[in-house]
Structures are given as C-alpha cells and as structure tokens.
C-alpha cells in the first residue's frame, strides 16, 4: 500500500487541481481579511465569531443532502455547483454594509463548501488507483497551500494598494472591501476549469432506498471522531490567528500577510514530503508522527512572548498539522468501501464543521467578555487539549487496531 507511488494523473484530475489552486488563492484572501473586514463594518467579536461559524453551521445542515446529490448527479457536477455558490457567497460578502449581507454571504458560502467538500475526496479517489492516491491527495493539498502562500503574500498588500488609489488608510472599509472582491474573482477563476469536467460512470442509487447507507459504521466512527476533536480545537483559535497576532504584536497587514504566506509555503512543502513519509512509516503512522510533533509548537504559538517565536511556531505547527490531512483522507478512502466514501466525506465534514462552528461561536463570546490576553490564554488551552485528544484517538482507535489486525 505504500510502494510505487505515481504522479501520472488524468485530465479531469489536472482540471480539478487547477481549480484547487485558484480556490487556495481565494481562501487566503478571505481568511486574512475577513475579521478585519467585519470589524470595519462595525461588527464586534461576537459577530465575528458568528460569521466565521456560519459557513460551518450551514455546511452541517447541507452536508448530507449534498452527498446524496453527489451520488445522483456525479461528483463532477457537484463540484461545479459548489464552486458557483462559493463565487456568489463571496460576492454577497463583498457587497455587505452591515450584518445582513455578511450573514447571507456566509450562508451561501457554507452551502457551496458542502458541495465541494463531500465530492472532492471521492472525485480524487475515483480518478486514481492505489499507486497514485496518496500522491494526488498530497498534491492537491500542496497546491491549495502553495496558492495560500501567494494569496497571503500578495493579499497582505492589497488594502495598502487600494488605499493609495481610493484614498484613506489600509484599515478603511473601502480598502478591505477590495480584498474581499479579489477573493470573489479568484473563486470565479477556479470555477472555469471545473466547468470542463464531465461526469464519469452512471449515477448510483442509494442502498435499500436509503440516502446514505453505511456498511461499516464502527470504522466510520473511528475515522470521524478524531476530526471532531480537531474541529472543536481549531475553531477556538485558528479563525482568529490574524486578530491574535495583530493585536498582540501590532503588526501591519503586509507583515501579517507575509507571515501567513510563509506558513502556507511550509505546509505545501511538508504536504509534498508526506508520500515519502508514507513509504517509510505507512499512512496512519505517518499521520500520528506528524500531528503529535505539532503539539509543542501549538503551545509555543499560543504562549510565546516574542513575535519571532510565534512566527516559528506558526510555520511549523501549520505545516505539520495541515500536511497530515491529505494522508488521513487517503487512508480513509483506502479503508472504506467505495459506497461509503461520499457518506464519510459528508459525515466527517459535518462533524468537523459542527465542532468548528460551536467553538468559533464560543470563542466570540469569550473574546467579548474577557480581556484580550486572558481570552486567548483560555482559547489556546482548549485548542491544545482537543488536538492532543485527537492524536490519542487516532493512536487507540486506528493505529493500534490496524497493528493488531496485521499481527492476528
């Protein structure tokens, strides 16, 4: 399962990867400036928590219907619908002058994300074999995060450029709105290659008249539960790292963009190294080693007193934790029956995003009611505990079990 990995992909996969690159650019712009844009709209910490949670909450509701639709109309068509909705949602957000359109944009983005997430991994799995699967998942992750490098590096300078043309400062609403518009443009460019995808195979009917029958519920639970814990931990702090670093160290948007850019590049490089780690360690052991190694850097990120220490921790933690994702997804696709793959993508997405949404909402409340430093101390402690619990769950539920099966 770990030998003979191939970089030979089919034309539909290359189209999908081209779209992924553009989506990575869009996500970088959006993630870097969303909280600052909401702040410029006059929306405080609780509103920021709510808007950050909204796409995830919407995805929780839309995930199962999206997976059911993917079974009927194909993963290719589902990807196209999701990308189109992402463009509309980001455009609505860019037009916002208050909470109304910001909430509407988040809702539409969430529905689009549901379509993309539940169909992406099955699309790649169905267009790959065992030799190319881990490489493909790693390449897609590396493209997304490599695009994040460019998006953050360029995006951090967009408000300054916009302010020089429109007048005012980089923190003004008009300058930040330009950054969100740029995100919508990148989403649109990512839609174009996806429109050239064509369905492959025949639409599948649900088993025994049910929307998403699952053959191996126990394995599904063992795969999903660790990601629930990661979602709970991540939602408390990751959406607000820009606010944390800007508020604690008073850095400019350009410096913040550069910082997140190098973090994205480190993640991309690590993702490309993952196939080598898989060959050496096996899939699930590679995930364990990489995620466990990220925990000390997460602690350093939350509690270090100097910017250079936080920067090193941000690079290393992001690279290690995020680079394990494609290998974990490939492992799940390998161990599940083909008929369970859409169900896993839907259930895993719902579980992760529900955790993310709940902790993002709670994070907004904590930040609104505690001083800046105390709030982030509490939030980083929660994140660290949840991530450590996820590593333990993978070790007990997947690694030890797989080793016991091999030795039996």
Task: Assess if residue 81 is contained within a domain.
Answer: yes
Query: Based on the structure, what is the number of domains in the chain?
Result: 1
Q: Which parts of 213-306 fold into alpha helices (H)?
A: 217-237, 241-249, 253-281, 283-303
Of 156, 188, 182, residue with least CA distance to 36: 156
Residue 90 and residue 186: Cα distance in Å, rounded? 10
275: pLDDT strictly greater than 70: yes
Least confident segment among 15-29, 117-131, 160-174, 347-361:
117-131
180, 187 in Cβ contact below 8 A? no
CB within 8 A of 118, min separation 6: which ones? 63, 66, 67, 70, 78, 342, 345, 346, 349
CB within 8 A of 385, min separation 6: which ones? 233
User: What is the pLDDT, as a whole number, of residue 378?
Assistant: 96
Output the pTM of the full model: 0.75
Residue 121 and residue 138: Cα distance in Å, rounded? 11
Task: Assess if residue 3 is contained within a domain.
Answer: no
- pLDDT tens for 161-209 read 999 988 888 889 999 999 999 999 999 999 999 999 888 655 455 444 4
Task: Assess if residue 389 is contained within a domain.
Answer: yes
Task: Assess if residue 262 is contained within a domain.
Answer: yes
141 pLDDT band (50/70/90 cuts)? confident
1 pLDDT band (50/70/90 cuts)? very low
Task: Assess if residue 209 is contained within a domain.
Answer: no
Separation in Å, CA 84 to CA 12, 191, 309, 317, 330: 18, 7, 40, 32, 26
Taking residue 201's Cβ as centre, other Cβ atoms within 10 Å add up to 8
What's the CATH code of the domain at 222? 1.20.1250.20
Q: Which sign does the torsion angle of CA 57, 60, 61, 67 carry? A: positive
User: What is the pLDDT, as a whole number, of residue 260?
Assistant: 85
User: What is the pLDDT, as a whole number, of residue 366?
Assistant: 94
Average pLDDT over every residue of 99-105 = 92
User: What is the pLDDT, as a whole number, of residue 213?
Assistant: 63
Residue 138 and residue 146: Cα distance in Å, rounded? 12
Q: Look up the domain containing 132 and give its range.
A: 11-198+214-407
Task: Assess if residue 193 is contained within a domain.
Answer: yes
- pLDDT tens for 286-315 read 888 888 999 999 999 999 999 999 999 998
Task: Assess if residue 206 is contained within a domain.
Answer: no
């Amino acid at each position: 399962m770990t030998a003979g990995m191939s970089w030979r992909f089919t034309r539909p996969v290359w189209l999908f990867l081209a779209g992924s690159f553009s989506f990575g650019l869009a996500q970088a712009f959006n993630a870097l400036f969303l909280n600052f844009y909401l702040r410029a709209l006059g929306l405080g910490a609780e509103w920021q928590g709510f808007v950050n949670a909204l796409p995830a909450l919407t995805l929780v509701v839309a995930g199962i219907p999206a997976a059911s639709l993917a079974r009927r109309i194909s993963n290719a068509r589902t990807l196209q619908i999701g990308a189109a909705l992402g463009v509309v949602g980001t455009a609505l957000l860019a037009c916002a002058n208050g909470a109304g359109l910001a909430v509407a944009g988040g809702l539409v983005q969430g529905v689009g994300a549901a379509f993309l997430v539940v169909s992406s991994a099955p699309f790649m799995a169905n267009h790959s074999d065992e030799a190319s699967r881990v490489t493909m998942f790693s390449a897609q992750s590396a493209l997304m995060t490599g695009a994040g490098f460019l998006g953050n590096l360029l995006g951090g300078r967009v408000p300054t450029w916009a302010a020089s043309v429109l007048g005012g400062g980089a923190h003004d609403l008009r300058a930040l709105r330009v950054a969100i518009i740029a995100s919508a443009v990148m989403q649109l460019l990512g839609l174009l290659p996806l429109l050239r995808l064509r369905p492959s195979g025949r639409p599948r009917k649900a088993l025994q008249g049910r929307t998403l029958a699952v053959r191996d519920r126990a394995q599904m639970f063992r795969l999903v539960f660790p990601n629930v814990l990661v979602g709970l931990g991540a939602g408390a702090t990751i959406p607000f790292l820009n606010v944390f670093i800007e508020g604690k160290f008073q850095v400019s948007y350009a410096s913040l963009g550069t910082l997140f850019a190098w973090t994205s590049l480190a993640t991309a490089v690590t993702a490309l190294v993952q196939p080598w780690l898989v060959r050496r360690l096996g899939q699930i052991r590679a995930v364990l080693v990489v995620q466990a190694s990220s925990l000390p850097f997460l602690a350093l990120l939350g509690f270090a007193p100097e910017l250079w220490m936080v920067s090193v921790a941000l690079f290393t933690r992001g690279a290690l934790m995020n680079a394990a994702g494609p290998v974990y997804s490939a492992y799940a696709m390998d161990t599940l029956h083909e008929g369970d793959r859409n169900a896993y993508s839907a259930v895993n997405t719902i579980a992760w995003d529900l955790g993310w949404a709940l902790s993002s909402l709670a994070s907004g409340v904590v930040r609104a009611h505690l001083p800046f430093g105390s709030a982030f101390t509490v939030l980083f402690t929660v994140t660290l505990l949840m991530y450590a619990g996820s590593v333990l769950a993978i070790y007990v539920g997947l690694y030890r079990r797989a080793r016991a099966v091999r030795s039996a």
